[in-house]
Structure 1
Amino acid sequence: MKSLAAVSIRQYERAVESLEAYRRVIDAGWRVLLRHGVADVRESPLKGAVCMIIASDQGMCGQFNEAILKHALAQAPGLAGEGSELAFWTFGEKLRGALADAGYRDQGHFAAPGSLSTIHEKVRAVIQRIEQWRSEKGTEHFYICHNVVIERGGYRQVCVRLLPLDRTWALAHAREKWPGRCIPMLGLPGNLMFKHLLRQYLFAALFRAFAQSLAGENAARLMAMQAAEKNILELLDNLQAGFRELRQNSITDELLDIISGFEALNDENPAL
């Protein structure tokens, strides 16, 4: 199990690394679009916000779900402005129950992905739900909270803003230096290209979050198994120490019985 968890961590990390090349292509598309000045990026009014929390439905991963839920609830007051409602979307049945126990109700629920092959389906479903909320409710602020692997083993919690793409974001992309001499021409109308780039941006960001969460889940599982192994070894050491002590006491009692019997015989037969 430990070997499987370690291999799985590396598998998800490679998926994230591969996604970085795809993300750079998307960023290049944003730079072209913004340099041509056809993207209409405005400050979005805060009419509410959505906080997506990614957890796990698998066992043997310690405090993985509890840690991310605690982090998300701690971040919640700063995600929605005063007078604005913060909606929670949950990924995982266990998290859904824990959120209800904490006094909150989720307004969107998805099954937690269990492998790379299931991430694509989850990403498409989330993007459709985001577009629905933006269209019907006017919600523009979306955040995603999940666990990520840290360098020296273990995991930590992060909360990332997914939307909106505001002016600060647009200026940062527009000012990045283009690697070549000529900026490519747009092959699509600006609004249509913006729509396609937005969907690809959401896909890359959500896929990355799910893959990082799965890597963190396996890191948590590896930590739990290492802790269990350590506890078992400590228990074995304690049992062996207790056995040696009992054995030594038994030998000592037997020797004392022999010595006591010998002395008793000497007292009864002084000639011996």
Structure 2
Amino acid sequence: MQQLEAVRRKISTTSDLLSVVKTMKAMAAVNIRHFEDAAESVGEYADVVEQGWAVFFRNAGILPRVPHGGSAVVLCMGSDQGMCGQFNEMAGARTVRTVEKLGSEGLKVSCWTCGERVKGVLEDSGIAVDRNFRVPGSMRGVNSVVEEIELDLEDWKDNRGMSRFSVVGNLHSGEGERVAVNHVLPLGRNGGRLAKPEGRCLPMVNVPVEDLFSTLFHEHLYIAVYGAILQSLAAENSSRLAAMQVAEKNIIEHIDVLESEFRTTRQGNITGELLDIVSGVEAVFGGE
């Protein structure tokens, strides 16, 4: 009976774990859609900012040249929680290559992370992490994290001569997960395709070009970081959903094995009890 009770407890514990996995699957599926919608909205706003850059270049000419050398910041987007497959390992590997490439160009590279897990991955790869930011758990927390990153970037730009800023993170799309590098600064390093104004009327502005540049620059930086966080959160939940699907399948198979073991053990106990009864009957009536 003790063995039977032990198997029954294993089935109960495993069933509870299955309920947790199913809950995490449902939460991940909801979060994916939530962050995807937010990322799509940011993309639409980015188109508006690109149109603003088109107006700026038409009225102000070209951007000042960025001096060679100096320092660069690489921000790697990861997660604070586990159970999301190779999510952090993929982002970490791409970040290592990016840091090495920028270093080969003569830049002093500082690596920042967003997430404790990816920070550990990079440190295990020999990359020193100078800043680590928390991963927001909901849409309401994204703004505060973006503001923290912007403040640190402003400090490094003013006091350490930062001229390059790149963001490495997982992207979520219908074609599956992939890691991308977005060279946010200097402007135009990605070969930015500026939006052409629609219609016959060319847009004009009445504000000083310095104010227009400052506004567009901050919006460009904000969109890059904000969008990267949203894309990373969507990809993280997608990876977690895939991991939970595999876990759910394994748990169900394990429960089937335990239930088979339970039935076998129970049948064995019943057979043993029947044999004991038969033996007792034979002992009592066998001499008559």
TM-score normalised to structure 1 length: 0.81
| 1:221 counterpart residue number | 240
Q: Choose the corresponding residue for 1:192, options 211, 218, 222.
A: 211
- 1:51-70 mapped onto 2 (5 Å cutoff): 51-70=74-93
For residues 45-93 of structure 1, the C-alpha deviation after alignment (integer angstroms, 9 at most, x for no partner) is 2323211011111233233222211221133222333432221001122
State how 1:1-272 maps to structure 2 within 5 Å: 1=23, 2-151=25-174, 155-166=177-188, 169=191, 172-173=193-194, 176-239=195-258
2:17 is aligned to none
**What count of residue pairs does the alignment treat as equivalent?**
249
Q: Deviations over 1:203-253 (max 9, x none)?
A: 1111110001111111111111101011122334445666788899x7xx9
Whether the 8 Å CA contact 1:46–1:80 is kept in 2: the answer is no
Query: Does structure 2 retain, via aligned residues, the 8 Å contact 1:46–1:139?
Result: no
- Once the two structures are superposed, residues 9-40 of structure 1 have per-residue CA deviations (whole angstroms, 9 ceiling, x without a partner) of 00000001111221111111100010113453
Asked whether the 8 Å contact 1:46–1:141 carries over to 2, the reply is no
Q: CA RMSD in A?
A: 2.7
Q: Secondary structure at the match of 1:21?
A: helix
Aligned equivalents of 1:128 and 1:3: distance in 2?
36
CA distance in 1, matches of 2:119, 2:205: 44
Over the matched positions of the two proteins, sequence identity in percent amounts to: 37
Unpaired stretches in structure 1, ≥5 consecutive residues: 255-272
Deviations 1:169-197 (CA, angstroms, capped at 9, x unpaired): 46x42xx5320222222221112210110
Runs in 1 of length 4+ with deviation above 3 angstroms? Answer: 80-83, 166-170, 236-248
Separation in 2, partners of 1:20, 1:92: 24
2:170–2:178 Cα contact (<8 Å) kept: yes
- Residue 209 to residue 26, structure 1, CA distance change in 2 (3 Å): same
Residue type of the alignment partner of 2:245: Q
1:262 match: none
Aligned partner of residue 86 in structure 1, secondary structure: strand
